Structure 1
Amino acid sequence: MEANWLQFLYAVSVSSAIAIRAYRRKSLNLSGAILGFLVMSIHIAVNYRFGAMLLVFFFTSSKLTKVGEEKKRRVDADFKEGGQRNWIQVLSNSGIASVLVLIVWKLIGSQDKCLDSKESPLVTSLIGGIIGHYSCCNGDTWSSELGILSDAQPRLITTLKPVRRGTNGGVTKAGLLAAAAAGFFVGLTFVLLGFVTTTCSYDVVLKQLWVIPLSTLAGLGGSVIDSLLGATLQFSGFCSVRNKVVGKPGPTVKKISGLDILDNNAVNLVSILLTTLLTSIACLYVF
């Protein structure tokens, strides 16, 4: 009981420090910082590895958002200094995982378990879903933030025709490689920390290494799903007045691709949900 309280206090302390720092650096606005604090506290208090995956996603995405800001300002119609994610963006990028984390807490408390379907298929699938969730989030962010800086001409994922930078569903080789690398780092974080926080048999421990290729595929797959949704269900058009690609139709906007059905947050949410589900199922078979 004492250990749980110490973990809770540690979670609150770390989360509050990170949220305040992120707000001051404009990575989060006030609503995003408040919700981010709650989400981080829940993850770290329940399981250090859940918190670590969230923090890998948050820190790397915040850092990459600020890389090449001048170029992104010229291309991105919705550019915000430092990123300034709000509560809606925080929720779309952590809401599903937070629910899974709370279910895991309800089932096994703050114990850290190896992925092992023989011991508990439900817990294995839930943890696998959390891994897939943050691999997808990280993959989409790395792909977007680094892909837009690539000198290569983006191509629409559905037709492979060249499109303007900033077009939803436009992909580059650099962006896809970045997505895979992002998933790899989430999986690597989970596995390495698990060597310290778990006690499992030797054969089960070795099997945990499969998390790394799975998370790599989840990062790449999540980015591909996001791009497919963006190319088909999210509007992209070129505004002759702003001289930028925009996400809403208008009298000065010439359509490039997509239907005006989903916005960026909805696309992120659907791609995360699908990747979470697929990774969860994959973990049942692999582990």
Structure 2
Amino acid sequence: MDSSLSQWIQPLVAVTIGFLIAFRAHTKKSLSTSGALAGFFVMSLHFFVGFRFAAMIFAFFFTSSALTKKGQEMKKKIDPEYKQGGQRNWIQVLSNSGIASVLVVAIWVLTEGKDRCLDSKDSALITSLIGGVIGHYSCSNGDTWSSEIGVLSDDRPRLITTFKPVRKGTNGGVTKTGLLAAAAGGSVIGLSYVLLELLTIRCGSDRVAKQLLVIPVATMAGLGGSIIDSLLGATLQFSGFCSIRQKVVGKPGPTIKKISGLAILDNNAVNFVSILLTTILTSIACLYIF
């Protein structure tokens, strides 16, 4: 095949798949118009850089979208800002994928577009960056699974800072079911990464067992990221009960009784900060593990 032609195939395939997924998500109301545009960009970018990164963002997007649509009637009663199907906008898309997008571009530049194994012996920086992407999506997926599954459980949530029972929908409220879901969400990201790495990159038989360590690392990142998110939500994000709407809301007002938190960060900011911290911690951990 002509080299000038072959170099255009991967970008073309990446853009095509990114468009199809974003278009479908928009028609299914998983993404708003702005969210679909942002989703098209980040998904195309991940697929262009490498199948492993595409696998992680796809695993996060598809599983999270599916769980968002579970128990919609109950979620509608609890969440005052609930939207049918989720309909995430561009801010929500970038808060859950923006940092990883920067990291995969850095990986692409440093590797000159060539796939490297996670335990890249010739570059600790590449190992660190790949670990950061794994931590990023493990946190995003773990926190989403925790929220979407935890709110449907029969357990009454407890505020993570005081362990006192709180109403469903309170920022920083956790349940056993939600924490287990967070760990499961992280493990799915780790599994998707490992499967694609084993299928697409020759790392050597002596390093296969080591690659499997990604799964427990991702599991801990999913759980840890969800805990960080809950701590931020309980302290820096306002929660109050509105006597008129009979729901937990995120902004103070005359008819609202405070439950917890300061009105410093909103939900998108909490997601961004928790993902950033988990990305950094997982990146450092991978330097020692791999």
**Which TM class, normalised by the smaller chain length?**
over 0.9
Q: Please give the secondary structure, in 2, of the residue aligned with 1:237.
A: strand
RMSD (Å) for aligned C-alpha atoms: 0.9
- Percent identity between the two aligned chains: 69
Partner of 1:103: 106
* TM-fit CA distance, 1:3: 4.3
Say whether 1:138 aligns with 2:138: no
* TM-fit CA distance, 1:111: 2.0
Work out whether residues 75 and 166 of structure 1, in 8 Å CA contact, stay in contact via their aligned partners in 2: yes
Q: Number of paired residues?
A: 287
Q: Please give the secondary structure, in 1, of the residue aligned with 2:118.
A: coil
Say whether 1:238 aligns with 2:241: yes
Aligned-partner Cα distance in 2 for 1:271–1:122: 22
Aligned-partner Cα distance in 2 for 1:79–1:258: 21
Aligned-partner Cα distance in 1 for 2:239–2:44: 37
Q: Please give the secondary structure, in 2, of the residue aligned with 1:213.
A: helix
Aligned-partner Cα distance in 2 for 1:201–1:19: 36
Task: Tell me the amino acid that sits aligned with residue 278 of structure 1.
Answer: L
Partner of 1:218: 221
1:161-172 superposed matches below 5 A: 161-172=164-175
* TM-fit CA distance, 1:109: 3.0
Aligned-partner Cα distance in 2 for 1:205–1:122: 21
Say whether 1:256 aligns with 2:259: yes
Say whether 1:8 aligns with 2:24: no
Aligned-partner Cα distance in 2 for 1:203–1:265: 42
Say whether 1:154 aligns with 2:157: yes
* TM-fit CA distance, 1:152: 0.5
Partner of 1:182: 185
TM-score in terms of structure 2 length: 0.97
* TM-fit CA distance, 1:283: 0.4
- Identify the match of residue 173 of structure 1 among 173, 176, 182: 176
Say whether 1:276 aligns with 2:279: yes
CA deviations on 1:243-264 (whole Å, 9 max, x unpaired) are 0000000000000000000000
> More displaced, 167-176 or 106-115?
106-115
Partner of 2:26: 23
Work out whether residues 45 and 110 of structure 1, in 8 Å CA contact, stay in contact via their aligned partners in 2: no
Aligned-partner Cα distance in 1 for 2:30–2:179: 24
Structure 1 unmatched ranges of 5 or more: none
* TM-fit CA distance, 1:5: 2.2
Aligned-partner Cα distance in 2 for 1:74–1:115: 44
Say whether 1:227 aligns with 2:230: yes
Aligned-partner Cα distance in 2 for 1:212–1:121: 20
Q: Please give the secondary structure, in 2, of the residue aligned with 1:166.
A: coil
Task: Tell me the amino acid that sits aligned with residue 280 of structure 2.
Answer: L
Task: Tell me the amino acid that sits aligned with residue 264 of structure 1.
Answer: N
